[in-house]
Structure 1
Amino acid sequence: MRGWRGRYPVAATVLAWTVTGLAAVLVLFALLMPGKADQFHPAQFLRVPVEAVFGAALVLVLPRRPRIAVSAVAGLALGVLTVLNLLDVGFNEYLGRGFNVVLDWALFSDAQAYLQDTFGGSGALGIAILAVVLVIAVLALVTLSAVRLGNLVARNSEVATRATLVAAIVWVTCAALGVQVTGVPIASEHVALAVQDRAHRVRDTIRDEAEFRKIAKKDTFANTPPDQLLTDLRGKDMMITFIESYGRSAIEDPVMAPGVDATLTAENKKLTGAGFAAKSGWLTSATYGGSSWLGHSTFLSGLWINNQQRYRTVTAGDHLTLPGAFEKTGDWDTVGVMPGVQKAWPEQKFYGIDKLYDSRDLGYRGPKFSWSTMPDQYALTAFERLVHGKKHDKPLMSTIILTSSHQPWAPIPRTVPQDQVGDGSVYDAIEKAGKRPGDIITDARKSKEEYGKSIQYSVTSLIDYLVRYGNKNTVLIFLGDHQPIARVSGDHASRDVPVSIVAKDPKVLDRIADWGWTDGLQPEHNAPVWKMSAFRDRFLTAYGSTPHS
């Protein structure tokens, strides 16, 4: 290298300053990087970071070896913070919240499974390798950049001292006067605030675990005798059905709403023609953009379960769930139909589900539709063939999770004549003719359009099933588990999802007449909004259950 520098001094100087400039840009980017995609604009990076001022002052007074060690440690820490900020960007984009360093590591296995279903095994492996390389590169480059800049400051101590002093004066002045550019303060303490915020998140997470354990032990209906539970629904065949990612945005967003609203209107006419009626409202989900099981468990348990830690806590206990309440009476057989479950599911016992039909039990021989193991129409047809259509001594309490509206919304199934569903082979041609995930996953407009179509398909499949196979004793509760990802629902969308109760027996809906819900399948904009965790107790109370906490 020294020989090369001697032969090409100009090129060596240009290269050295270029590398130094890139190192400075990288460190400055790491110091100012936000955790949300919509915050990436020029003003965010035209700031004076106080951490850089303190860092420069420190390396100016340190001997060579301590200086290099401090620079390396600081660079590595800044690299780790950059990786966490990148995770924040991704989590905010998809789940509407930042990355939780205590709880969210478990979600990476689910992310890997999602990528494999969406892009295939090779594509998922490639993305995983790229992610690992990116993390290593960020850690190495930020660390090396910090060391290089530290050495530069030490070699040019006189100039660096003046520059540091000027930067400190500018920072103090701007901080005191509140100087801003397009609403962004010039004086930045971004890293200090980010570290403080993460420390608070860790502390709050640990504290929340202890508090939630106490909350989960309290249950208004824990000791209600079986003969005092759900007395006004005896003899009814109950269905609780979750539609994946069916959120408020599907009904109110200008891109998705026209198609979804038209579908809800048409399906409501089908119901009315078949003698059914419906009432609908809004529930605020405990999750957003994903982690559907948090929404399921919140709705069914009556507890606010907004993270994996709470989920593990509640499912390890014996808190009464809606299916469990029906099971406890002894007057219903409880069944679960869950095509998204592809391995052992120990939560079955917690939920009070006597018999579970997962993706391996439904007899499907057709193609997967990206993440979704089978079309909703097939899952409901299998439910009729294996459970509902068979003779049973007791009414059924069925919990069904429909998955065709799961992202990335490509390819989407389409409805086929009922007598052609068979073992699902009919869907081969439909899957092959559908759009590929890569065609829409990076395009927000296309994602919105295809998401809306998937909701239309899921709602249509469910109402078609109810009209065809429902009877005077059928009661259906269906709802979304959460809003779709922020790229589809919007950066500041609510967490509300629609919920509907459908029945032929007018007495069923008379019991909730005081809820203020909208008639039909489409809740009005100003219909009541409850936390999803409030539904269980309201429902149990409305249908004759006596509290015994």
Structure 2
Amino acid sequence: MSLLTRPRQQPDEGSDDRRPPSPVRRVLAVTATVLAFLLVLFALVAPNDLSKLTPLAFVRIPVEGLVGVVVLLLLPSRVRKPVAIAAGGLLGVLTILKLADMGFYASLNRPFDPVYDWTFLGPGLEFVQGEVGDFLGWVAAGLVIVVAIGLIVFTALSVSRLGGFVGKHRTGTVRGVALLAVIWLVLAPTGAQLTPGQPVAASNAAALAVNDLRQVSADIRDQQAFAREVDADTYAGQAPDKLLSGLRGKNVLLVFVESYGRSAVMNSSFAPGIDAVLDTGTKELQQAGFAAKSGFLTSPTFGGGSWLAHSTLESGVDVNTQYRYTSLINGERLTLARMFKDAGWRTFADDPANTRDWVPETQFYGYDSVYDSRNVGYQGPVFSYATVPDQYTMNFVRQHEMAKTGPVFGEIDLISSHVPWTPLPQLMDWNGMGDGSVFGPQAANGKQVKDVWPDQAKVQEVYGESIQYSLNTLISYLKNFGDDNTVMVFLGDHQPGTLVSGTAADHDVPISIVAKDPAVLNRVAGWGWTDGLKPSPHAPLWPMSAFRDKFLAAFGEQPTR
């Protein structure tokens, strides 16, 4: 037989095509499978709260994993891989939501809202850019996107790899799943835990998916409920001459002190220093002829989202989500600012955190003048997030608004106590600030972020110092420039983040009314607030949304509607 007609030899069992994998390849294959298992385990059992993320939290049996393995075993081999990839992709998306929960619990002390909280991405990017610069901020944003996409892809591939593994080891897999299922069924009714709040018989992923779906449904229902709440305004149509008559001729300043929460004045390591400022300030203001009353309000937000608190207090409705905020500012609900304007006051807003136009300030709130970091003449340094020191802000208001004739109402947002709370400006001569350049050495020589973060004790210390600075600024302003027609209402917008206030902190913030004219405080005597700048632990607690109507009732006539 010639070579041309000889049958081609088939590879035998000992040929290279069927050679066992090398030790290196076996190690790599085992490593890849183990990593895939660990990623899927993290996705299934990791808690969505960083404070609960401990090694023992992973020593648990996820029922979703057991069900998933059974489904993969029952599927025909030809469809097992595509189903595993699809399931893994969904698990990756759920893991991203879980990571978002971790971030929100750490900063805002609540889970991520999958419908409305995407709007926090913009302010979050602006904050990062304020810390590291625009370019690095965009780089960080790009990395987050890459990581998110990579997490979905790798979770899908991991589930696919584990699907192939269980298909090759059916007998051992069935026995293992059966044993774990029995253990899960025995432990589930008992709620047995190796670490608090984390049952060994776990169902985290399913619970998270159900909770997110419920949140979506609740958000949809809330849209109609909020619309009814906004429309039910008892002060709509009230004659301007019946509004705020008890404050005629007064200059009224509504001042928000960033992150000034209940933890600042009680039950914390930094409260004694802040309380000392309030006690001393009360005495100094009394010597200057002022009196004050203080209480507590419950903010709609925690750790951030200041605009939700501002709009809640001014509008008298609970603005606790971004949807509610967007809906509110696109409507015609009356705000304190617009009521003061309608009643004859000149109005202004000063928000030094803004670096671009904030349309609601003129279109919704109705301010005559709006100031921000771009138009107050400040030429000094930024103090981390704070673009303008609080004292400069108050001095600008004194020189450009309070010096004008006629009564004025203004909302002022102080930001020196905004996270990361360092470096921090120091009080100086009110007449020596000029364009703010003199603050340069303070920013350069103060404690820097890298020297403080993420040490919790140091962060709490600088937070307390920042609140003391903001409060001392207001006290000094009133002592030096307040007169018989000055009325100041100052309050916190929300509690500081959990790193400072703790995971058990409430949403309460202090609020104080300061005036020299006794007639002003006499009108709020029935509120039961504490005398002085420091509220008693037993001072009345109202929702922040209740303040507008209580304030209007105290200083004007009851609505006719």
Query: Do both share a fold (TM > 0.5)?
Result: yes
Residues 1:405 and 2:410 aligned together: no
Residues 1:356 and 2:365 aligned together: no
Residues 1:102 and 2:115 aligned together: yes
Distance 1:461 1:263 in 2: 11
Distance 1:358 1:42 in 2: 47
Residues 1:449 and 2:461 aligned together: yes
Q: Which letter maps to 2:40?
A: V
Secondary structure at 1:426 match in 2: helix
Measured against aligned partners, the alpha-carbon deviations of 1:197-220 in whole angstroms (never above 9, x if no partner) come to 000011111111111011101111
Deviates more, 1:135-144 or 1:105-114: 135-144
How many pairs were matched up? 545
2:225 maps to which residue? Answer: 211
Secondary structure at 2:221 match in 1: helix
Residues 1:338 and 2:345 aligned together: no
2:551 maps to which residue? Answer: 539
1:271 maps to which residue? Answer: 285
Residue 548 of structure 1, CA deviation: 2.9
Residues 1:43 and 2:56 aligned together: yes
Residues 1:30 and 2:43 aligned together: yes
Secondary structure at 1:241 match in 2: strand
Judging changes above 3 Å, is the alpha-carbon distance between structure 1 residues 42 and 5 closer, same or farther for their aligned structure 2 residues? farther
Measured against aligned partners, the alpha-carbon deviations of 1:458-505 in whole angstroms (never above 9, x if no partner) come to 111111111111111111100000001111111110110000000001
Q: Which letter maps to 1:266?
A: T
Residues 1:293 and 2:307 aligned together: yes
Q: 1:258 aligns with which of 248, 269, 272?
A: 272
Distance 2:402 2:248 in 1: 17
Map 1:59-98 to 2 at 5 A. 59-98=72-111
Measured against aligned partners, the alpha-carbon deviations of 1:342-377 in whole angstroms (never above 9, x if no partner) come to 212221231131221222221111111111110010
Q: 1:423 aligns with which of 431, 435, 445?
A: 435
Secondary structure at 1:252 match in 2: coil
Distance 2:418 2:18 in 1: 58
Secondary structure at 1:335 match in 2: strand
Residue 155 of structure 1, CA deviation: 0.7
Give % identity.
44
Distance 2:449 2:140 in 1: 15
1:189 maps to which residue? Answer: 203
Residues 1:145 and 2:158 aligned together: yes
Contact 1:101–1:202, Cα closer than 8 Å, also in 2: yes
Secondary structure at 1:81 match in 2: helix
Secondary structure at 1:297 match in 2: helix
Judging changes above 3 Å, is the alpha-carbon distance between structure 1 residues 5 and 383 closer, same or farther for their aligned structure 2 residues? farther
- 5+ residue gaps, structure 1: none
Q: Which letter maps to 2:46?
A: M
2:245 maps to which residue? Answer: 231
Measured against aligned partners, the alpha-carbon deviations of 1:399-455 in whole angstroms (never above 9, x if no partner) come to 111111111111111112122200001011111112222332322211111111111
Q: 1:492 aligns with which of 491, 504, 510?
A: 504
2:10 maps to which residue? Answer: none
Q: 1:475 aligns with which of 473, 482, 487?
A: 487
Q: C-alpha root-mean-square deviation of aligned residues, in Å? A: 1.8
1:125 maps to which residue? Answer: 138
After TM superposition, the score normalised by the length of structure 2 is 0.94
Residues 1:314 and 2:324 aligned together: no
Q: Which letter maps to 2:470?
A: S
Distance 1:179 1:471 in 2: 65
Distance 1:476 1:175 in 2: 57
Distance 2:467 2:200 in 1: 45
Distance 1:419 1:526 in 2: 40
Secondary structure at 1:419 match in 2: helix
Contact 2:264–2:271, Cα closer than 8 Å, also in 1: yes
Measured against aligned partners, the alpha-carbon deviations of 1:221-247 in whole angstroms (never above 9, x if no partner) come to 112111111111111111111111111
Distance 1:468 1:179 in 2: 63
Q: Which letter maps to 1:524?
A: S
1:155 maps to which residue? Answer: 168
Residues 1:135 and 2:135 aligned together: no
Contact 1:119–1:437, Cα closer than 8 Å, also in 2: no
Contact 1:280–1:519, Cα closer than 8 Å, also in 2: yes
Deviates more, 1:88-97 or 1:333-342: 333-342
Judging changes above 3 Å, is the alpha-carbon distance between structure 1 residues 357 and 182 closer, same or farther for their aligned structure 2 residues? closer
Deviates more, 1:145-154 or 1:316-325: 316-325
Q: Which letter maps to 2:444?
A: K
Q: Which letter maps to 1:516?
A: G
Judging changes above 3 Å, is the alpha-carbon distance between structure 1 residues 59 and 395 closer, same or farther for their aligned structure 2 residues? same
1:523 maps to which residue? Answer: 535
Residues 1:174 and 2:187 aligned together: yes
Secondary structure at 1:306 match in 2: coil
Measured against aligned partners, the alpha-carbon deviations of 1:293-349 in whole angstroms (never above 9, x if no partner) come to 00001111110000110011111111111111111212x111112212221222123
Measured against aligned partners, the alpha-carbon deviations of 1:98-133 in whole angstroms (never above 9, x if no partner) come to 111111112111111100111223442342233223
Measured against aligned partners, the alpha-carbon deviations of 1:59-90 in whole angstroms (never above 9, x if no partner) come to 11212231001110111111111111111100
Q: Which letter maps to 1:35?
A: N
Secondary structure at 2:349 match in 1: strand
Distance 2:388 2:534 in 1: 26
Distance 2:512 2:116 in 1: 32
Distance 1:373 1:117 in 2: 9
Distance 1:371 1:128 in 2: 18
Residue 518 of structure 1, CA deviation: 0.8
Secondary structure at 1:283 match in 2: strand
Point out the structure with max Rg over C-alpha: 2
Residues 1:164 and 2:177 aligned together: yes
Q: Which letter maps to 2:389?
A: P
Contact 1:371–1:407, Cα closer than 8 Å, also in 2: yes
Secondary structure at 2:348 match in 1: strand
Contact 1:322–1:536, Cα closer than 8 Å, also in 2: yes
Residues 1:369 and 2:389 aligned together: no
Q: 2:258 aligns with which of 244, 252, 260?
A: 244
2:451 maps to which residue? Answer: 439
- 5+ residue gaps, structure 2: 1-14
Secondary structure at 1:27 match in 2: helix
Measured against aligned partners, the alpha-carbon deviations of 1:521-549 in whole angstroms (never above 9, x if no partner) come to 00011111111011111111111222133
Distance 2:133 2:248 in 1: 47
1:324 maps to which residue? Answer: 338
Judging changes above 3 Å, is the alpha-carbon distance between structure 1 residues 18 and 460 closer, same or farther for their aligned structure 2 residues? same
Judging changes above 3 Å, is the alpha-carbon distance between structure 1 residues 143 and 457 closer, same or farther for their aligned structure 2 residues? same
Q: Which letter maps to 2:366?
A: G
Deviates more, 1:438-447 or 1:5-14: 5-14
Judging changes above 3 Å, is the alpha-carbon distance between structure 1 residues 5 and 536 closer, same or farther for their aligned structure 2 residues? farther
Secondary structure at 2:133 match in 1: helix
Residue 3 of structure 1, CA deviation: 8.0
1:221 maps to which residue? Answer: 235
